[in-house]
């Protein structure tokens, strides 16, 4: 199984809503990532989890709250988002955070904030 699975695939939410994005992998990877991708732009790193601990937070606003319940799951909790937060949110995983192994990406959640 070389899949990273993200749910939901599409999400429309209002600025006062609370929602969560979910990511799951069963490859035994110990590093998991959240990226934000705007149209025609590269993925932009948000958070890195290593062995279920947050190791990198790229100065992401607190309206995005990551959570790693176990080594296979990664969540991104969303609250009070702005329209400019509309984007494709990609989850990825890799063997570790040493950075010299392939990162596998999920298919993404396309988020629209209205």
Partner 1 sequence: GENVEQHPSTLSVQEGDSAVIKCTYSDSASNYFPWYKQELGKRPQLIIDIRSNVGEKKDQRIAVTLNKTAKHFSLHITETQPEDSAVYFCAASQNQFYFGTGTSLTVIP
Q: Binding residues for partner 1, how many (CB under 8 A)?
A: 21
Handedness of CA 79, 85, 87, 91 (dihedral sign): negative
Asked if 71 contacts 49 with a C-beta cutoff of 8 angstroms, the reply is no
Residue 40 touches partner 1, criterion: CB under 8 A: yes
Among 89, 108, 109, 113, binds partner 1 (CB under 8 A): 108
Coil vs helix vs strand at 9 = coil
**Residue selected from 23, 46, 48, 68 as contacting partner 1 according to rule CB under 8 A:** 48
Euclidean distance between CA atoms 84 and 3, whole angstroms: 29
Three-state SS for 52?
coil
Check binding of 43 to partner 1 (CB under 8 A). Answer: yes
Site for partner 1 in 59-78 (CB under 8 A): none
| DSSP 8-class letter at 27 | S
Could you list the residues that contact partner 1 (CB under 8 A)? 33, 40-43, 45, 48, 56, 90, 97-108
């Amino acid at each position: 199984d070389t899949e990273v699975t993200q749910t939901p695939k599409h999400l429309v939410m209002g600025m006062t809503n609370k929602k969560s994005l979910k990511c799951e992998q069963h490859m035994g990877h110990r590093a998991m990532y959240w990226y934000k991708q705007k149209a025609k732009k590269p993925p932009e790193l948000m958070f890195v989890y290593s062995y279920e601990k947050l190791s990198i937070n790229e100065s992401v606003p607190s309206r995005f709250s990551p959570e790693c319940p176990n080594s296979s799951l990664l969540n991104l909790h969303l609250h009070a988002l702005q329209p400019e937060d509309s984007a494709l949110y990609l989850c990825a995983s890799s063997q570790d955070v040493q950075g010299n192994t392939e990162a596998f990406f999920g298919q993404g959640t396309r988020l629209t904030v209205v």
